[in-house]
């Protein structure tokens, strides 16, 4: 199948990446994002960046010595981002 980037679709996918990474989308939405990422290099690059950034922040947050309530809140916010 020949795909060409569609600006509006890419914007929608990029906005959904946070929920995609945290598995908060419906199964149909997850599949839609996955299919789009298979052929859209622009969105795949954005996905890789978002995933790497989220992973980096999560790792750094876990390594910091901060009050437990603050650490839990930051991790909760990351999970819901």
pLDDT tens for 42-63 read 999 999 999 999 899 888 877 7
Q: Structure pTM?
A: 0.70
What integer pLDDT is reported at residue 71 of this predicted model? 80
Q: What burial letters (b/e) apply to 15-50, b meaning 16+ CB within 10 Å?
A: ebbebbbeeebeeeeeebbeebbeebeebeebbeeb
Contacts made by residues 49-54, CB under 8 angstroms, sequence distance 24+: 50/17, 50/18, 50/21, 51/21, 54/21, 54/78, 54/81
Q: What is the pLDDT of residues 11-54, one digit of tens each?
A: 999 999 999 998 999 999 999 999 999 999 999 999 999 999 98
What residues does each domain of the chain span?
7-80
At 20, list the tokens.
């995609």
pLDDT at 2 over 60: no
Residue 69 predicted with pLDDT over 80: yes
């Amino acid at each position: 199948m020949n795909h060409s980037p569609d600006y509006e679709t890419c914007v929608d996918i990029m906005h959904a990446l946070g929920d995609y990474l945290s598995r908060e989308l419906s199964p149909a939405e997850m599949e839609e994002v996955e299919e789009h990422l298979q052929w859209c290099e622009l969105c795949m690059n954005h996905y890789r960046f978002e995933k790497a950034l989220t992973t980096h922040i999560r790792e750094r947050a876990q390594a910091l010595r901060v009050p437990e309530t603050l650490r839990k809140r930051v991790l909760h916010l990351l999970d819901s981002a």
